[in-house]
Amino acid sequence: MPDSIGGHRFRDPALLAQSLRHRSAGTPHNERLEFLGDSLVNLFMAEALFARWPQADEGALTRARAELVRESALAPIARALDLGSRLTLGPGEMKSGGHRRDSILADALEAVVAAIYLDAGFEACRGAVLPWFEPSLDALPPPHKVGKDAKTRLQEWLQGRQKPLPTYTLLSESGEEHAKIFHVSCVLPEPSLVTEGEGSSRRAAEQMAAEAALVVLEQRPGKA
């Protein structure tokens, strides 16, 4: 339905239209709504995390909220709601594929949240928006691991057991210059372990290799 989105049917369709109007298309655009929606999303995520993790400290809660509300986390939700196809963009943004850009999609999602709030109030907005984030909330790692990349977590695992740190070695590069694939090994002297990872950058490949090492280490009896 043209006047509904993500399970909410608008009483004021103009709010929905404005939330999906990029500034490149003229006024009224969605930047003010984006400002309000950003605060609402942060509040909803803070509230959800507070309820889900009763033992987590402020640092873990803050890191988890940052994971949930960053641009790269919001854009997939916008895509799941098919916001891209409903955006109103100026000619330049249309030509450059703005409806696919993470930044534009994430901003539009926040604007839509604000539009729902203005259209129906706080409770209705929270009820409509929280289900969009449930998969992301469910996918979060345990509180003590949130916000730490695999290389950091592997280093902490080893240091906590007074084990030597790993070494990362570039094994190969392949592909065209604009689409290279890096193949990296992660070698642990003690406990003896070698894992490998691939990625679009050396850093990404190292992270994959470290994650593979953690999976093995944390499945071992005694974890030592």
Please choose, from the candidates 130, 142, 107, 136, the residue with its C-alpha nearest in 3D space to the C-alpha of residue 35: 107
From the candidates 67, 93, 110, 119, give the one annotated as an active-site residue: 110
Q: What is the CA radius of gyration of the chain?
A: 22
What does the block give as tokens for 82?
């098919």
- Is 206 in the active site? no
One-letter amino acid at 168 equals Y
Task: Tell me the DSSP string of 15-35.
Answer: HHHHHTB-GGG-SS-SHHHHH
Residue 68: Cβ within 10 Å count: 23
54 three-state secondary structure: coil
Would you say 134 is a known binding-site residue?
no
Whole-number Å distance between alpha carbons of 170 and 65: 34
From the candidates 38, 67, 93, 206, give the one annotated as an active-site residue: 38
Q: Which helix (H) or strand (E) holds 45?
A: helix 31-52
Instruction: Identify whether 191 is preceded by a cis peptide bond (ω within 30 of 0).
Output: yes
Would you say 198 is a known binding-site residue?
no
Strand ranges for 25-84 from DSSP E: none
Task: Tell me the DSSP string of 183-211.
Answer: EEEEEETTTTEEEEEEESSHHHHHHHHHH
Would you say 47 is a known binding-site residue?
no
- Is 102 in the active site? no
Binding-site residue numbers are 34, 107, 110
Binding-site residue numbers for Mg(2+) are 34, 107, 110
**Enzyme catalytic residues:** 38, 110
